[in-house]
Structure 1
Amino acid sequence: MVLDKYSYTYLPAHPEVWTLSQIIVDEEKCTGCGNCVQACPCACLEVVEGKARMVEGVVCMSCSACVAHCEKDAIQMKGFYNVEKGLFKTMLLHPDDGYPRIPEVEGIEGLIPVEEVIYKRRSNRIFSKKPVPDELVRRVVEAGRFAPSHGNNQPWSFIIINDREEMDKIADMIDPLYRLLVRLYFYGKRNRLVRGLLSLGSIAAPPLMDQRAITGGKAILKPKDVFLGAPCLIYLLGDKRGINNMDLDIGICGQNMVLAAHSLGLVTCWMGFAAVGAKMLPHLRRYLGIKWPYVPVSAIVLGYPRVNADSMVKRELPRITWRKGGKTWQEMP
């Protein structure tokens, strides 16, 4: 039914329609270093009596950051985040065993360098305090500048904050907003009126009300370091007059940047919440000097890794429809 699309709009109140990944820790290998705890964007892990373990009742988005950041190979992840029905029903295809093979294409031997960077590059959440030279930051931005764009309109602009004190000031501006949003969201579990309002908000703006986004917002709140200890922050701004699809152009630009950074020995992590904060807070936009026609689209933190997270992690299978020789078929698991 059409109305099914608008059901289960507030998932914390309906645990019966969604399931989580299971994070399994090999206690013999685990040293209790806490890398997995720092790396997890949803605060799903904790260290108790010198061993890591999964926290009960926390939403795991199945990103495998904990697996990638564990230097002792002590963590495995089984299953996937999955919502069976309703507004937030997941549409990803899961392999039966939960462990896709290393990326490969039949008939091609080995990986070319760019493929290896794409497959092994992970969002790093454990940064060294070592500053990034301005020259390297400029090389990363240059990779974005040479990205393709609709009509070659190049609808981007960049704000580079290569200064931890400035980043801390920005974090202080964003922190109260996220505390308010997170508290309001989870208050819906106890208050029907708030839950109803959040359900309407979910229908109007699903990306902001997905429980994975809210849980991620909860995890980054202080006293944790909102920018993960990284020494450099880059805002990606988009020109509202951009031809056809400005957001897509900025995404292509940003992907060029993170891949170039990886190739230069740097690591990155996308910081969408930083852009959301700039959109919602006029005083932050003024502080950053963002003026029409530019709007904040996303942000990236940049730095050197304190923990090497390069690895190939599992991914759900692609949904592909083939059309060839007058025939159409779907490639499904």
Structure 2
Amino acid sequence: MVEYRDILEKSKKDALYGREISPPHVKKDKCIGCGLCVDICAALVFELREKKSEVIYGEKCNACGHCWAICSEEAVTQPQVITTTSLRPGSEPAVSADSLQLLIRERRSVRLFNDNAVSKEDLIKIINAGRYAPTSSNRQAVNYIVLSNQQKISKLRSSVENFMEKTFKMMENRAIAFFYKMKYGPLAVDLLRHYAINYQILKTRKEKKAYFPLPFGSAVIIVHSQSFDSLAQFNCAIALYNCSLMAHSMGLGSCFMGFVQIGINMDKKIKHWLDIPKGNQAYGAMVIGHPNVKYRRLVERKEPNIRWL
């Protein structure tokens, strides 16, 4: 058991969580022995002993806050998760299923924006929606880069465009195309060729930069995390989607920009300019702004492919 604890402690020091985590504390005089904290804890921190909850493996705690949130007697405490807000969950969900479904369907990709700036306060509110997204093992390892300066956004746009120009030109070489197919798969090559055709068409149109590779929005949010984490892409995608829903609820538009993400990860100069740490990778990019268009109708999607077992 000593060896296990040493390994666990070292893994935390090696930035498994990237933050200081203190074990929870149980106030025995308040604990009624219901066992909810024992049952709810995915890290197996608690055990019920002599009809009282007890912290046994405090070093395994990932500070998810389930124990503190579920305790009816406020017998469990942990500094990292105690909030100062007076808000509490209601007896019913804050949003009805129909309202949430409508919000999800209303949110669409926006690529045309007016010149009004998005305030820093609004951007923080949007990022806070990502902050409260779930992450694997509650690692909370999603990092955000925000570009709200138009000169820097223009530099990002031109850098990604230059990368795309070079990439599309290289794809004309059969040997390089074969290498890309072996490394990234045939679908990736087909997509690159598809976008190369679109790009050539857009180059002839003066308004091309309204769409490609990065729309003229007020701000760009880039999310990045450790590349060694097999679930980093999952964590970042959920966080960024939360941000897009919050932006829509605030009357703002957003659009996920796949080529910006690809350009950042494949062009070391862009990655260095954005100061993304070594060992980290961009897992999403999204432009935000005040929409210059209004979608008037909801659209249908194809039926989900479900296999019931």
TM-score under structure 2 length normalisation = 0.61
Distance 1:113 1:231 in 2: 28
Could you tell me which residue of structure 1 aligns to residue 263 of structure 2?
Answer: 277
Could you tell me which residue of structure 2 aligns to residue 236 of structure 1?
Answer: 223
Q: Deviations over 1:14-69 (max 9, x none)?
A: xxxxxxxxxxxxxxxxxxxxxxxxxxxxxxxxxxxxxxxxxxxxxxxxxxxxxxxx
CA spacing shift, 1:197–1:241, aligned 2, 3 Å: closer
The answer to which structure, 1 or 2, has the higher relative contact order (CA under 8 A, 6+ apart) is: 1
CA contact (8 A) 2:170 2:176 kept: no
CA spacing shift, 1:129–1:220, aligned 2, 3 Å: farther
- By how many angstroms is 1:125 displaced? 1.0
2:241 to 255, 267, 288: 255
Could you tell me which residue of structure 2 aligns to residue 204 of structure 1?
Answer: 183
* 2:177 alignment partner AA: L
1:138 to 95, 114, 124: 124
CA spacing shift, 1:144–1:171, aligned 2, 3 Å: same
Could you tell me which residue of structure 1 aligns to residue 299 of structure 2?
Answer: 313
The structure where helix makes up a greater share of residues is 2
* 2:190 alignment partner AA: D
* 1:231 alignment partner AA: S
Could you tell me which residue of structure 2 aligns to residue 114 of structure 1?
Answer: 100
CA contact (8 A) 1:178 1:218 kept: no
CA spacing shift, 1:216–1:134, aligned 2, 3 Å: farther
- By how many angstroms is 1:269 displaced? 0.4
Distance 1:288 1:219 in 2: 29
User: SS of the counterpart of 1:299?
Assistant: strand
* 1:113 alignment partner AA: S
Could you tell me which residue of structure 2 aligns to residue 24 of structure 1?
Answer: none
- By how many angstroms is 1:272 displaced? 1.5
* 1:205 alignment partner AA: Y
CA spacing shift, 1:217–1:247, aligned 2, 3 Å: farther
CA contact (8 A) 1:121 1:262 kept: yes
User: SS of the counterpart of 2:295?
Assistant: coil
Could you tell me which residue of structure 2 aligns to residue 4 of structure 1?
Answer: none
Q: Deviations over 1:302-325 (max 9, x none)?
A: 0010011364223222111112xx
User: SS of the counterpart of 1:181?
Assistant: helix
User: SS of the counterpart of 1:165?
Assistant: helix
User: SS of the counterpart of 1:210?
Assistant: helix
CA contact (8 A) 2:225 2:283 kept: yes
2:134 to 114, 134, 148: 148
1:174 maps to 2:160: yes
Measured on the aligned residues, the alpha-carbon RMSD in Å equals: 2.3
Identical counterparts, % of pairs: 23
CA spacing shift, 1:261–1:220, aligned 2, 3 Å: farther
TM-score under structure 1 length normalisation = 0.57
Q: Which runs of 5+ in 2 are unaligned?
A: 1-95
CA spacing shift, 1:281–1:316, aligned 2, 3 Å: same
CA spacing shift, 1:239–1:261, aligned 2, 3 Å: same
Q: Which runs of 5+ in 1 are unaligned?
A: 1-109, 188-193, 324-333
Q: Deviations over 1:268-323 (max 9, x none)?
A: 00012112111122222221111134221110000010011364223222111112
The structure where strand makes up a greater share of residues is 1
1:161 maps to 2:140: no
- By how many angstroms is 1:111 displaced? 6.2
CA spacing shift, 1:291–1:196, aligned 2, 3 Å: closer
CA contact (8 A) 2:214 2:260 kept: no
CA contact (8 A) 2:252 2:288 kept: yes
1:4-83 equivalences in 2 (<5 Å): none
CA spacing shift, 1:238–1:216, aligned 2, 3 Å: farther
Could you tell me which residue of structure 2 aligns to residue 76 of structure 1?
Answer: none
* 1:274 alignment partner AA: V
Report the count of equivalent residues: 206
CA contact (8 A) 1:236 1:298 kept: yes
Distance 1:273 1:284 in 2: 12
CA spacing shift, 1:311–1:294, aligned 2, 3 Å: farther
Q: Deviations over 1:171-211 (max 9, x none)?
A: 222222111222333x3xxxxxx335424522431353133
* 1:170 alignment partner AA: L
* 1:154 alignment partner AA: Q
Judge which range, 296-305 or 174-183, deviates more: 174-183
Distance 2:296 2:123 in 1: 20
